[in-house]
Chain A
Amino acid sequence: MNADEHEPVAVIDPGPDKVIGPGHDYDTVTEKIAGVVYRPMSRTPIQMFVGFGIAFVLVNLFLVAVSWLFYRGVGVWGITIPIAWGFAIVNFVWWIGIGHAGTLISAILLLLKQDWRTSINRFSEAMTLFAVACAAMFPILHLGRPWLFYWLLPYPNQMWLWPQPRSPLIWDVFAVSTYGTVSFIFWFTGLIPDFASMRDLRPNTFVGKIWGLLAMGWRGSARHWARYQKAYLLLAGLSTPLVVSVHSVVSFDFAVANLPGWHTTIFPPYFVAGAIYSGFAMVLTLAIPVRRWYHLEDLITTRHIECMAKVMLGTGLIVAYGYAMEAFIAWYSVNEYERYAFYNRVMPQPGTYWWTYWLLILCNIAIPQLLWSRRVRLHTWAVFAIALVVNVGMWLERFVIVVTSLTRDFLPSSWGMYWPTIWDWATYVGTLGVFLALMFLFIRGVPAISIFEMREVVHEEEPEHAHGD
């Protein structure tokens, strides 16, 4: 039987117990995943065009906002003294947190041998990559003279000035650049065998040659696979502590400072949990519509959604514990300023941001408790709605941490308020556009699900179906 003449496999979501729909063999998973990329433009789901169109408009908004920022300086934003860290840092922490789920799924779940990791790992790694790209822009945009960003790097210069490696801000430079680089090579390494599959599906064509260039001559030799798996495992092992270190370092930006509301030892674990929480929310936000548009319910099954919902619930509870500890320590420390910082966050009073705190409790703690119910977890669109709420909640959390702590520090004479301007919003919404546009291009342009790992799933899950002919 010619491989090109397959009857398409019916798209059946096998429910919460299986990671792949019935009837798949090595060839059908290859065809199906590669088919998303090889599908002609005319058969690409309309939602993809609409989504990309909206994202593209936002990319242009971002370009306008950044051009205006470069022209006029950071004064176009609402930042003032004492609130010098406004949206830029809120967004930086939010975006980098989102990235963490990708690394968690691809590295930690690989080490834990979780079967529901495959089929969402490639997708979340790409999400990590684009989220880190969005995150990394913010500290640079926030520099007064962003064109001098390379001063952050240790390089020999004629003034013989060197960065200060005792400062968490310089740790950040190393952590984020390492994280971005490692995420990229992890993602690219995973793609090499799939590039070879894509190449062999379209031999002797122009696009086949491009895939061939990217595949670098991969031919699936058993020796190559042995080294490949070893390297991949080592990457996973190295990425696992890396992902924990990155958000810990980000939290040091706050925790090492003396400011009440920032100077807290619980920040590193609480930030890491929050990062994974928001990241899983973002994976769900993206995966649920995409699996629907491209009819991938047999590859990204209810089991994947349910497992991610459980991780969200678990990390959400760790975050809740973090909030509780902040409150407890504010009281237990008997420190006037700590207590006031907490009081200022939660007590309804005019001219403060108390409502953002309660909104955050609603989004991050109250609503996600619905996920205890199996019925909610199995209802895909309910999970989608909760994921959106958590995305908002985690953004509010960073707002509360960054802004409310800065508005009222030790001296009432130096208190102030922060109101974002239209350019703050334009930059933030603009990066959402950049992120989504890149995600849309990724889904259309490269296999968004790891093909060779799906073949392994077929081999394990469906031995009777594995061999099509």
Chain B
Amino acid sequence: MPTETRVAGQLANLYGLMAEFATPEELLAAAERTRDEGFRRMDAYTPMPIEGLAEAIGFRRTVVQQIVFVAGLLGATGGFMLCWWMTVIAYPHNVAGRPLNSWPAYVPITFESMVLIACLSAVIGMLALNGMPQPYHPVFNVPEFLRASRDRFFLCIEAADPRFDLEGTREFLESLKPLEVMEVEK
């Protein structure tokens, strides 16, 4: 079999190269180096959140807070409108001559609806942005990756990165002094 085809075939089945580190500090430094090197398609995997890691791999901002803000506004509006509609339109009820639109009494329900919708959207929005539930992901093909939820810290450069080439990227990752460099199959 000609060498070219073998490499191409392997590349077609390759998700990326993964380096394993023992400490979050080493991973953080490695992620920064990798980004400086010009790689963009990469991700880091850690058993706990590491401050500054998302920025180091080039993740600038999340829209979770915007989703929650809009959802909170909608929840509050919905809660208030529900009370108003029930007491003014659907089931008007004269209580001792007080106005039908007795808005101060609607405040608790307005507030609770705001919190409910905002909290639900925070979690559902976070899961949706993370693409979860996602039962399969190539990184799970690496046996060592079981420790990513335990005590090891991983950096993965994806084959889809324009600067990726199997030999060169492997050499670069080795230069970061990881415990090991592994190929990740799709």
- Chain A interface residues toward B at CB < 8 A: 3, 25-27, 30, 154, 160-166, 168, 170-171, 174-175, 177-178, 181-182, 185-186, 188-189, 193, 196-197, 199-201, 203, 212, 216-231, 234-235, 238-239, 241-242, 245, 249, 252, 452-453, 455-456, 459, 466-469
Task: Output the nearest chain A residue to B104 by Cβ-Cβ distance.
Answer: A166
| B159 part of interface (Cβ distance < 8 Å) | no
Question: Which listed segment binds A: B6-14, B146-154, B160-168, B170-178?
Answer: B146-154
Query: Does A200 contact B90, Cβ atoms closer than 8 Å?
Result: no
User: What's the least CB distance linking B78 to chain A, in Å?
Assistant: 11
Instruction: Identify which of B56, B57, B118 contacts A238 (C-beta below 8 A).
Output: B118
User: What's the least CB distance linking B48 to chain A, in Å?
Assistant: 4
Query: Does B54 contact A182, Cβ atoms closer than 8 Å?
Result: no
User: What's the least CB distance linking A464 to chain B, in Å?
Assistant: 12
**Across-interface contacts of B150 in A (CB, < 8 A):** 3, 26-27, 30, 197, 200-201
Report the 7 A-B pairs with minimum CB-CB distance, sorted nearest first. Answer: A231-B126, A216-B133, A26-B151, A217-B134, A226-B54, A165-B83, A166-B105
Q: In the docked arrangement, what's the CA distance between A25 and B24, Å? A: 13
Query: Does A456 contact B119, Cβ atoms closer than 8 Å?
Result: no
From B49, B102, B135, residue with most partner A Cβ within 10 Å: B49
Query: Does A25 contact B108, Cβ atoms closer than 8 Å?
Result: no
User: What's the least CB distance linking A243 to chain B, in Å?
Assistant: 10
**Across-interface contacts of A469 in B (CB, < 8 A):** 22
Query: Does A200 contact B111, Cβ atoms closer than 8 Å?
Result: no
**Across-interface contacts of B31 in A (CB, < 8 A):** 222
Instruction: Identify which of A160, A222, A249, A252 contacts B90 (C-beta below 8 A).
Output: A160
Query: Does B50 contact A226, Cβ atoms closer than 8 Å?
Result: no
Query: Does B43 contact A193, Cβ atoms closer than 8 Å?
Result: no
**Across-interface contacts of A163 in B (CB, < 8 A):** 86
**Across-interface contacts of A25 in B (CB, < 8 A):** 151
Q: In the docked arrangement, what's the CA distance between A27 and B82, Å? A: 51
Query: Does A459 contact B48, Cβ atoms closer than 8 Å?
Result: yes
Task: Output the nearest chain B residue to A230 by Cβ-Cβ distance.
Answer: B64
**Across-interface contacts of B95 in A (CB, < 8 A):** 166
Instruction: Identify which of A182, A200, A218, A222 contacts B132 (C-beta below 8 A).
Output: A218
Q: In the docked arrangement, what's the CA distance between A229 and B102, Å? A: 39
Q: In the docked arrangement, what's the CA distance between A360 and B134, Å? A: 53
Query: Does B43 contact A222, Cβ atoms closer than 8 Å?
Result: yes
User: What's the least CB distance linking A348 to chain B, in Å?
Assistant: 39
| B77 part of interface (Cβ distance < 8 Å) | no
**Across-interface contacts of B151 in A (CB, < 8 A):** 3, 25-27, 30, 455, 467-468
Q: Apart from A216-B132, A217-B132, A221-B45, list 5 A-B contacts with CB within 8 A.
A: A162-B86, A178-B113, A181-B120, A193-B149, A467-B22
Query: Does A174 contact B108, Cβ atoms closer than 8 Å?
Result: yes
- Chain B interface residues toward A at CB < 8 A: 22-24, 31, 43-50, 53-54, 56-57, 59, 62, 64-65, 68, 72, 79, 82-83, 86-87, 90-91, 93, 95, 102, 105-106, 108-109, 111-113, 115-116, 118-120, 122-123, 125-127, 129-130, 132-137, 139-140, 145-151
**Across-interface contacts of A220 in B (CB, < 8 A):** 45-47, 148-149
Instruction: Identify which of B65, B116, B136 contacts A217 (C-beta below 8 A).
Output: B136
23 A–B contact pairs at CB < 8 A? A166-B95, A168-B108, A174-B108, A174-B109, A174-B112, A197-B150, A200-B148, A216-B135, A217-B137, A221-B45, A221-B130, A223-B43, A223-B54, A223-B130, A227-B62, A235-B122, A238-B68, A238-B122, A239-B119, A241-B111, A452-B49, A459-B48, A469-B22
User: What's the least CB distance linking A449 to chain B, in Å?
Assistant: 14
Query: Does A455 contact B140, Cβ atoms closer than 8 Å?
Result: no
Query: Does B106 contact A219, Cβ atoms closer than 8 Å?
Result: no
Q: In the docked arrangement, what's the CA distance between A177 and B115, Å? A: 11
Query: Does B146 contact A203, Cβ atoms closer than 8 Å?
Result: yes
Query: Does A165 contact B65, Cβ atoms closer than 8 Å?
Result: no
User: What's the least CB distance linking B85 to chain A, in Å?
Assistant: 9
Query: Does B106 contact A453, Cβ atoms closer than 8 Å?
Result: no
Query: Does B49 contact A175, Cβ atoms closer than 8 Å?
Result: no
Query: Does A238 contact B43, Cβ atoms closer than 8 Å?
Result: no
Q: In the docked arrangement, what's the CA distance between A241 and B110, Å? A: 13
User: What's the least CB distance linking B121 to chain A, in Å?
Assistant: 9
Query: Does A197 contact B23, Cβ atoms closer than 8 Å?
Result: no
From B79, B113, B126, residue with most partner A Cβ within 10 Å: B126
Instruction: Identify which of B23, B62, B91 contacts A467 (C-beta below 8 A).
Output: B23
Task: Output the nearest chain A residue to B31 by Cβ-Cβ distance.
Answer: A222
Q: A185-B123, A231-B126 are in contact. Are A245 and B108 (CB under 8 A)?
A: yes
User: What's the least CB distance linking A206 to chain B, in Å?
Assistant: 16
Task: Output the nearest chain A residue to B116 by Cβ-Cβ distance.
Answer: A178
Query: Does B87 contact A459, Cβ atoms closer than 8 Å?
Result: no
Query: Does B109 contact A230, Cβ atoms closer than 8 Å?
Result: no
Q: In the docked arrangement, what's the CA distance between A223 and B113, Å? A: 30
Query: Does A222 contact B45, Cβ atoms closer than 8 Å?
Result: yes
**Across-interface contacts of A200 in B (CB, < 8 A):** 146-150
Q: A160-B91, A217-B133, A238-B118 are in contact. Are A165 and B105 (CB under 8 A)?
A: yes
Task: Output the nearest chain A residue to B114 by Cβ-Cβ distance.
Answer: A238
Task: Output the nearest chain A residue to B45 by Cβ-Cβ distance.
Answer: A220
